[in-house]
Structure 1
């Protein structure tokens, strides 16, 4: 499991000790601010005030508060910046491409002709492959192989 860097830069921002000039919104549970490594103008991060390394460590209530602020900021980005679209991105642990180990959601305003690309290529899976994964997730164990 990945360990957070001490001190956590997002905890420092949430506490008002860093990045005050980038803060867009804050409430009791969350803070939204411009990403200092923005990939597009308006690239915003939403974080919980409480430290939680990732989605597996945050409480359901704090996760819901983060999503409420994401929803609010998405509307503000839409209404003010008028992008063609919006990409949300949330990564967990190093293998999931997380690089700051405090849960955060990226809101990236998009234009139809911007320079960003999808990180993977989707391909359909067979019904058997989907059924095997479904059985794991629904039942909590692997299904026996078919004869």
Structure 2
């Protein structure tokens, strides 16, 4: 599936027409279920019921609902699985590594020394570079609707 496909497996799951596998939680705005391509035991996905391709398309209300469910599921994972850590992952568009174009958040329980690795290496930026970016991005934030 790519960004231009109209079929959306997560919309099918939200509508109850496609097997979500193992649903862990659902409410009027969100669904949490085990990822059938789990990279670690307990790997969970949280999606909004309403279709939004990515973070730039989701409403503020649905984004808040997704994060509430992520927060609740993180607590449940911690309580039951007792992982050493937890990685949240949310990708947007092909260039951002998104592969299913319905917003979703991965909750990946982690174990010290597990097989997963960081996708990049961080490097300290100079003050001039940071100042230039600050000038571009710093502004009063208001709720916005992205196209």
Distance apart, 1:20 and its partner CA = 4.2
Matched with 2:69 is 69
Larger Rg: 1
Q: For each residue in 1:64-97, what CA deviation from the matched residue of structure 2 results, as whole angstroms up to 9, or x when unmatched?
A: 0000000000000000011000000000000000
Separation in 1, partners of 2:16, 2:42: 20
After TM superposition, list the pairs within 5 Å mapping 1:105-116 onto structure 2.
105-116=105-116
SS of equivalent to 1:7: coil
TM-score of the aligned structures, taking structure 2 as reference length: 0.90
Separation in 2, partners of 1:20, 1:130: 43
Separation in 1, partners of 2:116, 2:91: 17
Matched with 2:49 is 49
Separation in 2, partners of 1:109, 1:4: 31
Q: Residue 4 of structure 1 contacts residue 53 of structure 1 at CA under 8 Å; is this kept in 2? A: no
Separation in 1, partners of 2:139, 2:64: 26
User: How many residues are matched?
Assistant: 139
TM-score of the aligned structures, taking structure 1 as reference length: 0.90
Distance apart, 1:113 and its partner CA = 1.6
After TM superposition, list the pairs within 5 Å mapping 1:49-128 onto structure 2.
49-128=49-128
- Structure 1, 73-82 or 19-28: larger mean CA deviation: 19-28
Distance apart, 1:7 and its partner CA = 2.1
Q: For each residue in 1:78-119, what CA deviation from the matched residue of structure 2 results, as whole angstroms up to 9, or x when unmatched?
A: 000110000000000000000000000000000002100000
SS of equivalent to 1:65: helix
Structure 2: which 5+ runs fail to align?
A: 141-147
Structure 1: which 5+ runs fail to align?
A: 141-147
Q: Residue 4 of structure 1 contacts residue 102 of structure 1 at CA under 8 Å; is this kept in 2? A: no
1:6 aligns with 2:40: no
Matched with 2:133 is 133
SS of equivalent to 1:106: strand
